[in-house]
Structure 1
Amino acid sequence: MQMRAMVNLTISMAIFGSIGFFTKHTGIPAVELVFVRCIFATLFLGCLWLMTGGLKKEQWHKKQLFTTVLCGVFLVLNWVFLFKAFEEMSISVAISIYNLAPIFVLLLGAVLLAEKMTLPAILATTICFFGSILIVGIEHFQSLDQLFNSGFIWALLSAIFYALTMFTSKNISELSSYALTFIQTAVGIVMLMPFCNFAVFEGLTTTNWLFIVGTGIIHTGFVYYLFFDSIRYLSTLVVSVLVFVDPVVAILLDIVILSFRPDALQILGIVLIFGSITYIILMPQPARTKVSEI
């Protein structure tokens, strides 16, 4: 079971690494893209749930349902902010900031669970923030307008809500992966419908629709089913290491296909971010106690 879970998580992270490439070719803004993704994913997962007979066997508990809905809200906001970051900056830069999530999980543990942060953890957090400044560009931090226009805030918010998603999802153990993901994508439909501009769907090409459907069925339905189905069977260390498959694939696609060429400071920023996150993941107990609850 553990080996199967490792393979599933690796596949899900590798596929999700291409989400930025797909997003760039959909031709629609972030809110509308997440909305239509949720529709396709909900239909896809609902059909599988019915076909496998899992719906009839599902056990419903109010506390688990509330946590799942809350996790769904965090997940949808995470997607919206990530896609808005893709609109303003390169995929590599956005993904690097997005993967600050383990740092925010550590901070959440300190704030919400009264976990003590050690000096090395504080130092690693500071280095990560400095790395994010380098990768975005110091010049963008000279005024609030430049900072907002750079996409940094969107990428940072996506990382925060990714951390909240992972922080809450570990407390959901009684619902099946189908139920968990179906409820979360259905929450996305309800949340985003009032904010959608349906005019953006007019005049889309067949290619646009192929990428939109791909992000809905593959990157949302299939990937998140594999993700939530696998993390419940794996240790935190394994999960934390395997999620790095996502940014590696994303950055490689950005460089090879979209011709992103990082300068020396951006490369240093990427190294500082992922080096510090790796240290946080691997640092000995008890310092990483709550990071292990991702």
Structure 2
Amino acid sequence: MNVRSMLKLTISMAIFGSIGFFTTQTGLPAVELVFVRCICATIFLGGLWLITGGHKTEDWNRSEVMKTIVCGIFLVLNWVFLFKAFEVMSISVAISIYNLAPIFVLILGSVFLAEKMGIRSICATAICFFGSILIIGIESFTSVSQFMNSGFIWALLSAICYALTMFTSKTIHGMSSYALTYIQTITGIILLLPFCDFAAFEGLTNTNWLYILGTGLIHTGFVYYLFFDSVRDLPTVIVSVLVFVDPVVAILLDALLLSFRPDLLQVLGIVLIFGSILYTVFYPKQTINKVKTSSSQ
């Protein structure tokens, strides 16, 4: 096991767990905040790339560059959808739904890599979705339109795009982490520029800008360098488990700093989501071990 990569991924997820709190303090809408994040990360990573001299030894491959651009599109959409979810629902609820991503990774594996999903995995997936319905407080909605405007769709789309980001990044091996993240943030700038409302930057306070720069330089530049530098060297199961550091930190900060107090059904929803995901992640490993044991006997 690559301990260094595990440590990098753990640190990146712990830092990213505070993104919800930072986002609520920036005073910017989702698209504009992600746009600034991409600019900050591009400058940060571009500077490190030049300082380390990595740009001189980069091994460029047309196929990998195209994959990186596609991965960058998924990554940017993931950010936008997540931040839009933060705008209309609590951080804990949005993050819990967002962390359905490992389930979607397994579904993608079954569709594109012919990895079979057993009955138990399918049941666990269904329980996850049921838990996500509970956690948004479905009993308080009186109409479909009210439910659709709750932020659930944004959080779900962010989870799907996060899964696509993880799934795609696993196929990129030849490029350095600097080049990988640099191309992705450049892609984000180009993608979001036509949709950015620059009037949103008027009237921001110094405190707002501190949080904005924090999300750009720390949560985007530094965190995603660590993320992509580690995720390629770790098994999918380990990655799926370590990403749970993110929601644990997010929910703790939401409870301690923003006074989030879940009701009984929301607590049940959180337990169902994370319990089912952990079961889905670990069960295939247990099955393989049983098969190996019986074969050896």
1:238 Cα deviation (Å)? 2.1
2:138 and 2:147 in contact (8 A); partners too: no
Counterpart-to-counterpart distance in 2, 1:207 and 1:99: 29
Partner of 1:163: 163
Q: Distance in 2 between matches of 1:235 and 1:125?
A: 21
| One-letter amino acid of the counterpart of residue 118, structure 1 | G
- Please tell me whether the aligned partners of residues 140 and 150 of structure 1 are also in contact (alpha carbons under 8 angstroms): no
Question: In structure 2, do the counterparts of structure 1 residues 112 and 37 end up closer, same or farther at CA, with 3 Å as the change threshold?
Answer: same
Deviations 1:175-205 (A, max 9, x none): 0000000000110000000000000001100
Q: Which moved more, 1:94-103 or 1:113-122?
A: 113-122
**1:132: which partner in 2?**
132
Q: Percent identity?
A: 73
**TM, length-normalised to structure 2:** 0.94
Unaligned runs of 5+ in 2: 289-297
| Other-structure match for 2:292 | none
- Counterpart residue number, 2:182: 182
Q: Is 1:109 paired with 2:109?
A: yes
Which structure is larger by alpha-carbon Rg, 1 or 2?
2
The whole-number CA distance in structure 2 between the counterparts of 1:141 and 1:186 is 40
Any conservation in 2 of the 1:116–1:287 contact (CA below 8 Å)?
Answer: no
Q: How much does 1:284 deviate?
A: 2.2
Give unpaired runs (5+ residues) of structure 1: 289-294
In 2, the alpha carbon distance for the partners of 1:267 and 1:103 equals 20
Amino acid in structure 2 at the alignment position of 1:89: M
Q: Contact (CA 8 Å) 1:140, 1:146: kept in 2 or not?
A: no
Contact 2:177 2:225 in 1 (8 A): yes
Deviating 4+ runs (over 6 angstroms): none
Quick one: which amino acid aligns to residue 185 of structure 1? T
Root mean square deviation, CA, Å: 1.5
Instruction: Find the counterpart in structure 2 of residue 227 from structure 1.
Output: 227
Cα offset, 1:140, TM superposition: 5.7
CA contact 2:240–2:281 (8 Å) conserved in 1? yes
Q: Secondary structure at the match of 1:28?
A: coil
TM-score by length of 1: 0.95
1:88-134 Cα shifts (integer Å, max 9, x gaps): 10000000000000111122122233333210011000100100010
Counterpart Cα distance in 1 of 2:256 and 2:18: 12
Paired letter, 1:63 = S
Map 1:56-205 → 2, pairs under 5 A: 56-139=56-139, 142-205=142-205
1:230-253 deviation per Cα after TM superposition (whole angstroms, max 9, x unaligned): 112222222222111000000000
Residue 291 of structure 1: aligned partner? none
User: Paired residues, what number?
Assistant: 288
Do the aligned residues in 2 keep the contact of 1:82 with 1:155 (CA within 8 Å)?
yes
